[in-house]
């Protein structure tokens, strides 16, 4: 592959317009770069600290993120940057579309893929600071990165590969261990295809509720949340044959439904039984929401079909098989193993973002705050703790600069539900009346005594 030129030397246009945001004027600078054959656009909103935001799914970032994620930071006085990594979500229908992945039939567009994986991120950081300095007459005194899901992966990529780019990184439910976890999201669909049975969402919800009933009290208080998922040994097969309510209709738990739930909770295994990746917590949504790994679609006559997680199917089609028409519903277990092997051998080094050696980032004085919801229905929190454990194994004092928090009852969202709204606050609210403490991993919240709606009734142990 050709040597990539310095992005600052390829600046081909800078344009600025002034618009209004609340009561202040905000300068919007769009920097367009032509790097090799990839067009990267870095919008910078500037009102001097800088903060950068990136993407989700297969979106590196881009201006479409500005109204929700970037504008509030501008209002707080930050200069803000993001990058589309050479492809935009408006061009490609949404976060989950990956047509940009192929340069031609059978050929991965490696330049754009590497921009998505890490190169475009570094360019964004450098160009953001480069464009901010002449406007203010001084470079940013501090620079921060904030991202979730794919954005969370990107944040840790900076710490691993470009440790000098940011002083502080917020990484939320990061999509790290990409080459392994991305296929785990369609493992339950693979199991359904092999069984030829597609349980309705209400049955999978009922399995989840049965697990919560069995494991809710493990932390000492019944609140509808499994706060200690590692201690939950509930077997879905113990309720097979028992009845449950399915949208007002009395139904019976099936053995196939239990197999699918177990697949989602245990994670994928090879054709010879070897561990391939982690499953989800037993109180994570499996099938009712479109984001669930075991989602099905049912007709009025009761027939159902699988609805696989599209980001994962795109990975198989555009990168692993390089065939947009590939049908994953027909694969054998041996072919499943071949896909796992291809994902790891071809792409792990570029996008996995799982290097536990953060010694260079530590030397810069940088800090990382990360959190992951325990009921994330897409990215297993066990993948995040797996990575963090490896970081601690290399550096037992990594807590000094890198802290991870696991949030019971929180899913794949940093804007809704019981999520940390202020990362400087060590408590979290569940609705209007329940408050809990957040504990730095590996400690967990444990109920001691008193009113279970108060954070003071819990401690980290």
Active site residues per annotation: 149, 376, 412
Whole-angstrom Cα Rg for the chain: 23
CB 66 within 8 A of CB 75: no
Angle between helices 201-215 and 255-266 (to 10 degrees): 60
Element (H, E) at 155: helix 150-161
The sign of the CA dihedral 383, 389, 394, 395 is: positive
Look at residues 112, 104, 130 and name the one whose alpha carbon lies nearest to residue 60. Answer: 112
- Helix 187-195 to helix 255-266 angle, to the nearest 10 degrees? 160
Task: Report the DSSP beta bridge partners of residue 40.
Answer: 33
Tokens of 5: 């030129």
CA dist 212 and 423 (Å) reads: 28
What are the E-state strand segments in 304-343? Answer: 304-306
- CA–CA distance from 388 to each of 226, 324, 394, 460 (Å)? 21, 35, 10, 18
Structure tokens at 65: 């993120």
The rounded distance, in Å, linking the Cα atoms of 97 and 20 is 33
Q: What SS3 class is residue 188? A: helix
| 3-class DSSP assignment, residue 403 | strand
Work out the widest C-alpha separation in the chain, in whole angstroms.
72
Q: Do residues 49 and 79 make contact, with C-beta atoms less than 8 angstroms apart?
A: yes
Side-chain half-sphere CA neighbours of 206 within 13 A? 25
Measured between its terminal Cα atoms, the distance across the chain in Å is 51
- E-strand stretches of 264-366: 296-298, 304-306
Exposure on the CB side of residue 414, measured as CA atoms within 13 A: 21
Beta carbons of 239 and 207 less than 8 angstroms apart? yes
């Amino acid at each position: 592959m050709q040597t990539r030129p310095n992005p600052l030397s390829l600046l081909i246009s800078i344009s600025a317009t002034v618009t209004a945001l609340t009561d202040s004027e905000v300068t919007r600078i769009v920097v367009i770069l032509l790097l090799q054959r990839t067009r990267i656009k870095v919008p910078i909103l500037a009102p001097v600290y800088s903060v950068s935001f990136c993407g989700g799914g297969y979106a590196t970032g881009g201006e479409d993120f500005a109204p929700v994620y970037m504008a509030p930071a501008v209002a707080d006085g930050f200069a803000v940057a993001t990058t589309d990594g050479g492809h935009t979500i408006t061009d490609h229908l949404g976060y989950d579309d990956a047509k940009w992945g192929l340069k031609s039939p059978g050929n991965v567009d490696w330049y754009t893929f590497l921009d998505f994986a890490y190169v475009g991120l570094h360019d964004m950081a450098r160009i953001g600071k480069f464009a901010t300095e002449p406007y203010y007459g001084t470079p940013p005194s501090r620079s921060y990165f904030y991202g979730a899901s794919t954005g969370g992966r990107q944040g840790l990529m900076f710490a691993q590969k470009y440790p000098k780019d940011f002083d502080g990184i917020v990484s939320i439910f990061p999509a790290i261990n990409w080459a392994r976890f991305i296929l785990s999201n369609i493992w339950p669909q693979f199991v359904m295809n092999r069984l030829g049975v597609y349980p309705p969402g209400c049955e999978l919800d009922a399995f989840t509720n049965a697990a919560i009933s069995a494991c809710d009290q493990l932390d000492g208080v019944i609140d509808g949340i499994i706060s200690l998922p590692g201690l939950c040994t509930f077997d879905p097969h113990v309720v097979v044959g028992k009845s449950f309510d399915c949208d007002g209709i009395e139904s019976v738990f099936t053995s196939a439904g239990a197999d699918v739930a177990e697949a989602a909770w245990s994670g994928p295994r090879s054709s010879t039984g070897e561990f391939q990746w982690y499953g989800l917590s037993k109180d994570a949504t499996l099938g009712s929401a479109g984001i669930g790994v075991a989602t099905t679609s049912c007709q009025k006559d009761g027939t159902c079909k699988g609805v696989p997680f599209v980001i994962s199917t795109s990975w198989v089609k555009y990168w692993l098989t390089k065939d947009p028409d590939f049908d994953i519903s027909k694969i054998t277990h041996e072919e499943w193993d071949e896909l796992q092997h291809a994902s790891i051998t071809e792409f792990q080094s570029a996008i996995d973002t799982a290097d536990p050696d953060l010694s260079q980032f530590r030397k810069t004085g940088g800090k990382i705050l990360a959190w992951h919801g325990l009921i994330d229905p897409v990215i297993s929190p066990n993948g995040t703790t797996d990575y963090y454990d490896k970081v601690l194994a290399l550096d037992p004092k990594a807590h000094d600069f890198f802290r991870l928090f696991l949030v019971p009852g929180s899913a794949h969202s940093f804007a809704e539900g019981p999520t940390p709204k202020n990362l400087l606050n060590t408590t979290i609210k569940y609705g209007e009346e329940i408050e809990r403490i957040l504990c730095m991993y590996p400690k967990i919240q444990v109920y001691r005594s008193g009113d279970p709606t108060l954070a003071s009734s819990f401690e980290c142990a």
